Each structure stands twice: as structure tokens, then as C-alpha cells.
């Protein structure tokens, strides 16, 4: 939980314990067409978490270094089917609801891996979201 002191900003929680749904008590609105990176970033920020905690919870094993400092305007967070299942449980939303809103969670864009995995990729110039 974020700690607030009079007149100061909330400090992000940095523990390495995997997140559970109650850690994400603030549910951000889904924005149709939004990137995975943007949705995850907004979710972490709204709940006072450092961004890497969220992808780490979705990933099996050591999180790739590239996932520690994601820039949603320049990068996308790709996930496997198992990582998406973890995300749906964590944010307490239906898979189809997430897939309709976030194009990066549609079947054809998922990582083809047998385990929960997260990868960060640069946006190809032709597909980069508007700034």
C-alpha cells in the first residue's frame, strides 16, 4: 500500500513479493486500442507500484532487463497465453474484455511459449502508436 505524508507524493511499493488481486485495488478504465505497455503502466501507477512488479508477476523466472524500464510510446509488452491468464486473474477482468480493448492481447499477437512469459519489443515505425 502507498504511504502518504502530508504534502508529499506517494512512494511506489518496491517489494519483490508477487502481486495478488488485492494489491491492485484501483481498477483503471480500459481504453479501446490501448497498448499492453500503456495499460500495465497505468495500472501500476494507479496502485502506487513500480512498473516492473507487474510484468514480474506475469512472468516465470527472471524478468528480462528490457521489462524494467518500459516506455509505452516506444515499446510494447508482449505476453504469452499463460501470462495473459495471470493478468486476467490479477486485474479481475474477463479475458475477452481485455482482448477487445487491448489489441496486443489478441491470439495472433501473443507470444508462442508454453510458459508465462513477458517480452518488451520496440514499436516498428509503421505501427507505433500516435503520440
Count of domains in the chain?
1
Q: Which helix (H) or strand (E) holds 95?
A: helix 95-101
In a domain, 105, yes or no: yes
In a domain, 15, yes or no: no
**How much is the average pLDDT of 77-83?**
92
Question: What pLDDT does 6 receive?
Answer: 39
Q: Are strands 118-122 and 75-79 parallel, antiparallel or unpaired?
A: antiparallel
Provide, rounded to the nearest whole percent, the portion of the chain with pLDDT above 70: 82
Q: Which domain holds residue 81?
A: 21-122
In a domain, 45, yes or no: yes
Q: Which helix (H) or strand (E) holds 122?
A: strand 118-122
Q: Is 59 left (phi over 0), alpha (psi -120 to 50) or beta?
A: beta
Is it the case that residue 73 has pLDDT exceeding 70? Answer: yes
In a domain, 27, yes or no: yes
CA angle 93, 97, 100 (to 5 degrees): 150
In a domain, 6, yes or no: no
Mean pLDDT of all residues belonging to the chain: 83
Radius of gyration, alpha carbons of the chain: 14
In a domain, 80, yes or no: yes
pLDDT band at 94 (very low <50, low <70, confident <90, very high): very high
In a domain, 69, yes or no: yes
Rounded to whole angstroms, the Cα distance separating 36 from 92 reads 16
Rounded to whole angstroms, the Cα distance separating 117 from 10 reads 30
Is it the case that residue 30 has pLDDT exceeding 90? Answer: yes
**How much is the average pLDDT of 96-115?**
91
Q: Which helix (H) or strand (E) holds 78?
A: strand 75-79
In a domain, 110, yes or no: yes
Amino acid at each position: 500500500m502507498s504511504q502518504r505524508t502530508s504534502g508529499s507524493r506517494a512512494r511506489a511499493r518496491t517489494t519483490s513479493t508477487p502481486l495478488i488481486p488485492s494489491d491492485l485495488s484501483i481498477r483503471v478504465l480500459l481504453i479501446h486500442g490501448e497498448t499492453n505497455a500503456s495499460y500495465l503502466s497505468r495500472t501500476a501507477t494507479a496502485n502506487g507500484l513500480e512498473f516492473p512488479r507487474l510484468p514480474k508477476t506475469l512472468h516465470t523466472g527472471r524478468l528480462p532487463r528490457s521489462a524494467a524500464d518500459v516506455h509505452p510510446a516506444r515499446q510494447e509488452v508482449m505476453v504469452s497465453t499463460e501470462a495473459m491468464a495471470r493478468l486476467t486473474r490479477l486485474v479481475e477482468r474477463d479475458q475477452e474484455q481485455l482482448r477487445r480493448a487491448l489489441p496486443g492481447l489478441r491470439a495472433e499477437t501473443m507470444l508462442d511459449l508454453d510458459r508465462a512469459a513477458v517480452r518488451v519489443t520496440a514499436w516498428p515505425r509503421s505501427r507505433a502508436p500516435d503520440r
